[in-house]
A and B are shown apart, each in its own frame.
Chain A
């Protein structure tokens, strides 16, 4: 089944404890992206990757890192999480920027 898989679905952690949210797609998509969703603010782009060689910042990259070592995986890394990073996170992928985005099921992160 074609899908974008995110793990974990739920995560509660403490301030400053490094964490990684994994994202994997099995559709051979070039484009991958991370979004955070907060009430009233919609989906805000954190980082995106046009292909394995090109990764760049979105609108809210502060406090996040990403890695695209292979086409299928695009993990989101929080080196030192803070409470303002409590949010719902979505990974998404597509063939290209002008193709439909396929979203993962989301990761609900709580930082205390």
Chain B
């Protein structure tokens, strides 16, 4: 079953913060985060591994709550370049499935 992302969409002004959540119905081995611009392929942001620490990339960071089977992506002091659709991908076993959520569309306005 695909992970559930929320919200579906968010509109921000430059400099504002946002949180995107990703929930799984199964225990998580790892969580991937990607961003996709319109008409392009998804681009890797970060991976959080079971038992690992919170990751960060510039002003984008993420957390992984194993007990709640959730991950959250934090967009801090958003920039125009943060606009796009964000996908979480979850790995719930070691057999090879990497399932993505439906995506969260982020629009950052001047």
Which of B61-69, B73-81, B92-100 lies at the binding interface?
A: B92-100
Knowing A43-B42, A44-B2, A101-B44, the reply to whether A50 touches B102 (Cβ < 8 A) is no
Q: Is the CB of A102 within 8 A of B44?
A: yes
We find that the number of chain B residues with CB closer than 8 angstroms to chain A is 26
B49 within 8 A of A: yes
Q: Is the CB of A48 within 8 A of B97?
A: yes
We find that the number of chain A residues with CB closer than 8 angstroms to chain B is 27
Knowing A44-B2, A101-B44, A102-B44, the reply to whether A31 touches B87 (Cβ < 8 A) is no
Contact for A35 among B29, B32, B40, B100, CB less than 8 A: B100
Cα–Cα, bound, A48→B42 (Å):
17
Q: Is the CB of B2 within 8 A of A59?
A: yes
Q: Is the CB of B103 within 8 A of A42?
A: yes
- Closest chain A residue to B44, Cβ basis: A100
Q: Is the CB of B42 within 8 A of A45?
A: no
Most buried by A among B98, B100, B103: B98
- Closest chain B residue to A35, Cβ basis: B100
List B residues at the A interface (Cβ < 8 Å): 2, 5, 29-30, 32, 34, 40-44, 47, 49, 87, 89, 91, 94-103
Q: A98-B30, A100-B32 are in contact. List 9 more A-B contacts (CB 8 A).
A: A35-B100, A43-B100, A44-B100, A49-B96, A54-B96, A90-B42, A97-B29, A97-B98, A98-B49
